[in-house]
Structure 1
Amino acid sequence: MSGKLYLVGTPIGNLKDITLRALDTLKECDIVAAEDTRQTLKLLNYFSIKKAMISYHKFNENDKSNEIIDLLLQDKNIALVSDAGMPGISDPGSVVIKKCIENNIPFEVIPGATALITALIYSGIDSNKFIFRGFLPRENKDKKRLLEEIKNYRETIIIYEAPHRLKKTMEIIMDVLGNRNIAICRELTKLHEEIYRGSIEKAIEYYDEKQPRGEYVLIISGKSDEDIERENKNKWDSLTIEDHILSYMNKGFTKKEAIKLTAKERCIPKSEVYKYSLKI
């Protein structure tokens, strides 16, 4: 028999955003494992909860995961919390979850606020399909490499960024992705919450005159049909229509199929492409 691990979502700013279920879990557990015990103590004190605490953060996650597993095997119930939001989402948590699964130890997720979803809804940008990449790499060359990998995605892109890297990151995003729509969400649910919506180019200008402070979530629009159409047009501008048709025929397409594909990519009528095909 073992105890149970509870992964508890905590407020991302406003302490009143905690759920009743999260409060019950924190009250009833034996130990709270916290990313920053000082930060979590403020939360516990606010709700008059007194608990033994242990530290569990990204620098000690591997060792502390073993300690948590040992405590769970001693029939202790443990609540794991990050400084804000959901454990395991750009915060420690995934290592101990994996070890619970390996050791057949039960765990339960107590959902709560998370910055990426709050920011996505605030953004006004398409929320039906999105990808979350957390914090981008620190090195600029690594940032560019990752952005190159996702630049053709149609999904809305969500990333986190620190204030001292915000300006440079936006310049790199502009360079790789182009001048897309962006929402920059700062200090969500806190006193100085701020949402900037506009183009990436205008956002760079805005932060040229404003010192970034606080925690940021960037919501960037995915690649649009217009972007794809424009890129295809530029791609094929260097080819004659005859060569465009031949490029598909050389790949095994029939002449009829090649005409159809060429017309679609050049956004011109098939009848016009057909005239050029007569020379082939």
Structure 2
Amino acid sequence: MSAAYKNAAHALGVNVQDPPVWGWHGRTLSHRVGHPAHGACWLRLLSVPESKASGKLWEGTQRAAATFPTIRKPALHALHDHTDSGYAYRAELTAYIDEPVLSADPVLRHELHLPDSWFTTIRATLAAIAATPTDRTAVRQEWITRAVPQYTGYPAPKITSWECAHGDFHTANLTSGAALLDWEGWGLAPRGYDTALLYAYAQLAPNTARRIHRQFAPLLDSTSGRAALLVVCAELLQSASRGDHPDLTPRLQALAEKSAAAAQL
């Protein structure tokens, strides 16, 4: 990955400026970089087996740049692809958002003190995403049918309302200025999926979780929202079964129980 990153940085004409930031399980590698024309940028390198160099995750950032021009996110400046020793690498050069993310990890472990204007912007962002037609898929009914009973112990909801979602909507991908990062996985998901994900990941910061719930109560307390919460709990409990965020597991189990009871599943 480091050698491939140097290759991409040279090809795109950037100077690496900051320490590396590794993505989930080392699948991505990023740095803040300097570009002679664009100034401060972010260079992110994605690695996949060569046979998988296509599809949703590979094309997500590129397609989001064209699909969501009005949403506040890093502008895409350039792409660079190459292959080596059976692996494909895609480098994405985007504008650098000079404001902090709300947490270093998807699981929020500290309380946030955000202005009401931040939530106003986020509601508008979510509404714009949800209203966007797409042929991409973030969550499938087949996975829901299998995973919800397996990881929550409750019957799987039959989703009847699907909307476009960011797909990874949590505080590590949101900045203090309400910019939204990491667009690789967007696509159709149960209505309310993004909001449910934000709420579920915030359970270890109870005051912030309550505020998120108040801000989005009409959606989270709807039939669709409760189904989305159950789906999100299954997804995060599946991740926990692989060793991720063990401290969040009891809260997820409680949230799944509450959501299933409210939905009378």
- Using the size of structure 2 for normalisation, the TM-score is 0.30
Which structure: larger Rg?
1
- Using the size of structure 1 for normalisation, the TM-score is 0.29
